[in-house]
Amino acid sequence: MWWTSISDTCATRSTGRLAGARSRPCGAPATGSAPMAADRMAPRAFSLRVRLAALAALGSVIVLGIGSLLLYQDLSHQLSIAITNELAVAVDDLAGGAPPVDSALVTAQLIDLSGEVRAPAGEPPLLTAEELAEVSRGQIVVDRPVPGIGKDARLLARRLGQSGGEQVVAVGATSTASLTHARGRLVLVLALAGPVLTVGVAVAAWLLAGAALRPVRWMAGEAATISAAQVGRRLPQPPGGDEVAQLGRTLNDMLARIERAITHERAFIDDAAHELRTPIAVLRGEIELAAHEPDLPPPVAESLASALEETDRLARLTENLLTLARADAGQLAPGDATTDLVAAARTSVRRVPLADGISIEVRRQPGPSCQEREPVLVRGEQEWTGHIVRNLVGNAGRYARSRILLTVTPEGRYVRLVVADDGPGFPPSVLPRAFDRFARADDARGQPGGAGLGLAIVASLTRALGGRVTASNGAPLGGARVEVELPLASHPGLMGRDAC
């Protein structure tokens, strides 16, 4: 394996042989940052507030529809009965011997069974022959056009006793245009008022639901800001004893239980890691001492070398657990220390064991206002930045086919550290949880992985330094790509400029 440190122009190159294969030539410079693959593009469901408002609107439509139908039927029926009663009064007057009198509302006639109008004489009959035959069997009410009254008219006819030796029929007729007009007005009013009332009910439901759910939104917003390093925080407790207040108490009780569980877990991991450091160091020393014995049989020498490798792996795992325990406890703070990121990266990659045939290149690309030889100063101890680089390079080295590229690029007040490899990349199912603890992709990437803590430690240290980290696949080498963005530290010698 070769280790290479080059500038972005490949004008200078320093090469150190670490194993056996040749170094590849200079690659193309890294491109810009890829979008964070952990963001899931899932369709967003309607909020509870919207659903409640929609449900209230739907309910109002149903209630208003049924109410409007009943109102229309009842009003039409009452107006129709009123018209019929008015005609019945006119017919009763004729039956009582009053002469037929045409008024502005009712037209009255006396007709014999032959169809001749007896009074008022000379008028055309209001009834047809069929209607005369039907009225002989009882009172009839007919809605039809009547000449002289209009197309909307109603007739009420009743057979009376004999008049002048013949059977006569009393007929009353009136216009029903007022009924038709009232029905049309009612339909118009309901058609206009219905949507207005529906919108009003929906808006009222929206406002009431918002007021009722406001404490829930407060609790949700507060819960979203509670991290593993702030397990002692609690949600705002709504006053009263309703369901929302009960929800707040229940969630706070749950947070208290989670705090106790996390506290016990952190204490256990911290104690276990501290207790393991000494025996692991002693074990490593014993194995190294045994491995330096002369004339060891080859199988014994190989076993001791393998045991030493596994001991180093166990030591790294212990250090990782300690780092995570300190991050969880909020004990990682950058302080006033600064580190040259480029120098820390070049030093750290030499300490990462890589398989034969894998070359690693470190590129320092000048920013818009930075010279190539100026240091790239970031906040924090060199141990932290070195830990970030070693974990990223170690993770890339497990899956790279032949090449790893590390680039450092200052941009404004931040510096971008990108570690890319030419391996198979992150599987799509792993990208959303790439920085979760114990997240592994052994089967998908075809290589045996570590404990699944490397990228989780990178995320914890990056957040502690005030930066952010993203994972994706693609350029510049076509495999996995992890980008760390750290804030630059201010440097007195730069007279107010950002340190680079």
Residue at 229 is within a domain: no
Q: Minimum mean pLDDT among 117-126, 360-369, 478-487: which range?
A: 360-369
Residues 320, 469, single domain; the answer is no
Residues 27, 80, single domain; the answer is no
For the segment 324-373, what is each residue's pLDDT rounded down to a tens digit?
777 766 666 666 778 888 888 888 888 887 888 888 888 888 765 555 56
| 467/307 Cα distance (integer angstroms) | 38
> What is the predicted pLDDT for the residue at 17?
32
Residues 124, 205, single domain; the answer is yes
Residues 189, 94, single domain; the answer is yes
List Cβ<8 Å contacts ≥24 apart for 421-424: 421/396, 421/397, 421/477, 421/479, 421/480, 422/477, 422/478, 422/479, 423/396, 423/399, 423/447, 423/479, 423/480, 424/399, 424/479, 424/480
Under a CB-based contact definition with an 8 Å cutoff, are residues 156 and 141 in contact? yes
Mean pLDDT value of segment 67-76: 91
Mean pLDDT value of segment 379-398: 84
| Pairing relationship of beta strands 2-7 and 338-340 according to DSSP bridges | unpaired
Q: Minimum mean pLDDT among 151-155, 324-328, 396-400, 431-435: which range?
A: 324-328
Residues 486, 372, single domain; the answer is yes
Instruction: Write out the two tokens for 71.
Output: 């109102």
> What is the predicted pLDDT for the residue at 334?
66
Helix axes 454-464, 382-399, angle to 10 degrees: 150
Residues 292, 176, single domain; the answer is no
Q: Minimum mean pLDDT among 54-63, 249-258, 323-332, 393-402: which range?
A: 323-332
Residues 341, 193, single domain; the answer is no
* Residues 135-174: b if buried by 16+ CB within 10 A, e if exposed: beeeebebeeebeebeebbbbbbbbeeeeeeeebbbbbbb
Model confidence band, residue 443 (pLDDT cutoffs 50, 70, 90): very low
Mean pLDDT value of segment 250-265: 83
Mean pLDDT value of segment 246-269: 82
Model confidence band, residue 24 (pLDDT cutoffs 50, 70, 90): very low
Residue at 171 is within a domain: yes
Q: Minimum mean pLDDT among 35-44, 138-147, 433-442: which range?
A: 35-44
Model confidence band, residue 419 (pLDDT cutoffs 50, 70, 90): very high
> What is the predicted pLDDT for the residue at 156?
92
Answer with the one of 327, 346, 361 that is the final residue of a domain: 327
Task: Quickly count: other Cβ atoms within 10 Å of residue 376's Cβ.
Answer: 26
Model confidence band, residue 214 (pLDDT cutoffs 50, 70, 90): confident
Tally of structural domains, the chain? 3
Phi, psi of 360 (to 5 degrees): -130, 135
141 Rama class: left (phi>0) / alpha (psi -120 to 50) / beta: beta
Whether residue 155 has pLDDT greater than 80 = yes
Residue at 236 is within a domain: no
**235: which residues sit within 8 A by CB, 6+ positions away?**
218, 219, 222, 223, 248, 251, 252, 255
Residues 296, 214, single domain; the answer is no
Domain range for 307 is 246-327
H helices within 162-242, ranges in order? Answer: 177-225
| 429/455 Cα distance (integer angstroms) | 16
Residues 429, 323, single domain; the answer is no
Whether residue 450 has pLDDT greater than 70 = no
Helix (H, G, I), strand (E, B) or coil at 251: helix
| Pairing relationship of beta strands 377-379 and 338-340 according to DSSP bridges | antiparallel
Model confidence band, residue 14 (pLDDT cutoffs 50, 70, 90): very low
Whether residue 19 has pLDDT greater than 60 = no
| 415/408 Cα distance (integer angstroms) | 7
Q: For position 297, which CATH number holds?
A: 1.10.287.130
Model confidence band, residue 442 (pLDDT cutoffs 50, 70, 90): low
Whether residue 453 has pLDDT greater than 80 = no
Answer with the one of 327, 345, 366 that is the final residue of a domain: 327
Mean pLDDT value of segment 77-91: 90
> What is the predicted pLDDT for the residue at 74?
92
pLDDT: is 6 or 206 the higher one?
Answer: 206
Tokens 């502690």: give the residue.
464
Residues 454, 384, single domain; the answer is yes
> What is the predicted pLDDT for the residue at 230?
67
Answer with the one of 223, 255, 271 that is the final residue of a domain: 223
Residues 63, 101, single domain; the answer is yes
Residue at 27 is within a domain: yes
> What is the predicted pLDDT for the residue at 107?
86
Task: Quickly count: other Cβ atoms within 10 Å of residue 372's Cβ.
Answer: 15
Whether residue 448 has pLDDT greater than 90 = no
> What is the predicted pLDDT for the residue at 328?
66
Under a CB-based contact definition with an 8 Å cutoff, are residues 447 and 53 in contact? no
Whether residue 81 has pLDDT greater than 90 = yes
Whether residue 27 has pLDDT greater than 50 = no
Residues 69, 183, single domain; the answer is yes
